[in-house]
Each structure stands twice: as C-alpha cells, then as structure tokens.
C-alpha cells in the first residue's frame, strides 16, 4: 500500500459522486487505500452550517491514519480539506472547483503552506468564481490548472484523472 487518500464530495452530493468515485477507483488501482467521507448529514445544516462539522469529520479521519494522508476534495469538499490541513498534517492536497469563501462562513479558504498541492478549476465555473481561487494560487505560488469546463468539470474527467495519477506519483516519491 502506498498510503491513504481521503476524498470529500461537494455540497448536496455523496460519496458516490462522479469525480470522487473516479479518483478513488484510480487511486486504488495504483495501490492506495481510499476512504470517502459522507457529509450528507453535515450538509443538512446548510452551506455555512456544514463547514465546521465537515472539518471535524475530516480531522477525525486524518487522526485515525498511521501517516499523513492525501486529501482530495471537490467544491465544498475542497474548501474544507484545505481548512482541515491547517489543523492536522497531510501529505498532499488535490482540490477541484475550490471556492475562495462560503457565504456567511467567517473564514476564507486557506491551506497548510508547503504541502504538495494542485488546484483544478473550470474557466466557466458559475458556482465558485475563478477570481478567488486564482488570486489565492497566485498569492501562494501554487499550481493551478484551468480547464475549459464548468463547476462540475464533467467534460474534463480524463484530464483530471491524468493529473491525479501524476500528482500521486509525485507525492509518493516525496514521502
């Protein structure tokens, strides 16, 4: 086994979501152990109300790991993965369609400095505006892959899978 990956779905989604399922299956084929968080009960609290419970659930999963895991998140799952990384060590962050903030939630997006990371975002994302994640990536000199896609990134699954494979190879070498 190469390590553990914790995958977090977006708001009003599920652990069986398309991107989460694709990336979990790919990681498992490469020898990684995966765990998909289920945030549906957290999401019942509303967008801002779900952030703290999502972070708490992620922290508990991370603390159960023998070694720091890689976190993968989509949309709200990306937002909370970044914030969770500030509290507990992680081996990497692979974040998709990341919002720079959540309405009525006091903290903006942030993540642990120095952690291997890749942000992927759609040029046509109408849910999470590009400007916020682009400014964050620029300010922190983080890799940001922009794709000709919308928030769901459904037209870019092959590219995302290829980037994830490369990312995991890089993280595995760094470990």
pLDDT tens for each residue of 93-131: 999 999 999 999 999 999 999 999 999 999 999 999 999
| Phi-psi map region of 141: left, alpha, beta (phi>0 left; psi -120 to 50 alpha) | left
User: Residues 46, 75: contact at Cβ < 8 Å?
Assistant: no
Q: Is 7 helix (H, G, I), strand (E, B) or coil?
A: strand
Q: Return the pLDDT at 12.
A: 85
Class of domain 4-174: alpha beta
Question: With pLDDT > 90 as the criterion, what percentage of the chain qualifies?
Answer: 94
Tokens standing for 126?
A: 């109408």
The predicted model gives 85-95 an average pLDDT of 97
Phi, psi of 146 (to 5 degrees): -100, 130
HSE (CB half, 13 Å, CA atoms) of 157? 13
Is the confidence at residue 143, as pLDDT, over 70? Answer: yes
How many Cβ atoms are within 10 Å of 12's Cβ, its own excluded? 14
Q: Return the pLDDT at 48.
A: 97
Q: Return the pLDDT at 92.
A: 98
Is the confidence at residue 58, as pLDDT, over 80? Answer: yes
Q: Return the pLDDT at 174.
A: 64
The predicted model gives 76-95 an average pLDDT of 97
User: Residues 110, 99: contact at Cβ < 8 Å?
Assistant: no
| pLDDT band at 162; cut points 50, 70, 90 | very high
Condensed to tens digits (0 to 9), the pLDDT of residues 21-46 reads 999 999 999 999 999 999 999 999 99
Q: Is 8 helix (H, G, I), strand (E, B) or coil?
A: strand
| pLDDT band at 172; cut points 50, 70, 90 | confident
């Amino acid at each position: 086994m190469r390590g553990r990956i914790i995958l977090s779905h977006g708001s009003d989604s599920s652990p069986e979501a398309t991107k989460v399922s694709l990336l979990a299956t790919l990681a498992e084929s490469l020898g990684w152990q995966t765990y998909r968080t289920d945030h549906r009960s957290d999401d019942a609290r509303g967008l801002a109300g779900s952030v703290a419970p999502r972070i708490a659930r992620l922290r508990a999963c991370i603390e159960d790991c023998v070694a720091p895991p890689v976190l993968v998140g989509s949309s709200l799952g990306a937002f909370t993965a970044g914030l969770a990384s500030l509290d507990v060590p992680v081996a990497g962050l692979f974040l998709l369609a990341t919002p720079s903030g959540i309405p009525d939630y006091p903290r903006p997006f942030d993540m642990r400095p120095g952690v291997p990371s890749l942000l992927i975002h759609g040029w046509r994302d109408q849910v999470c505006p590009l400007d916020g994640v682009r400014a964050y990536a620029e300010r922190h000199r983080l890799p940001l892959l922009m794709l000709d896609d919308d928030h769901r990134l459904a037209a870019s699954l092959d590219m995302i899978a290829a980037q994830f494979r490369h990312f995991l190879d890089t993280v595995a070498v760094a470990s």
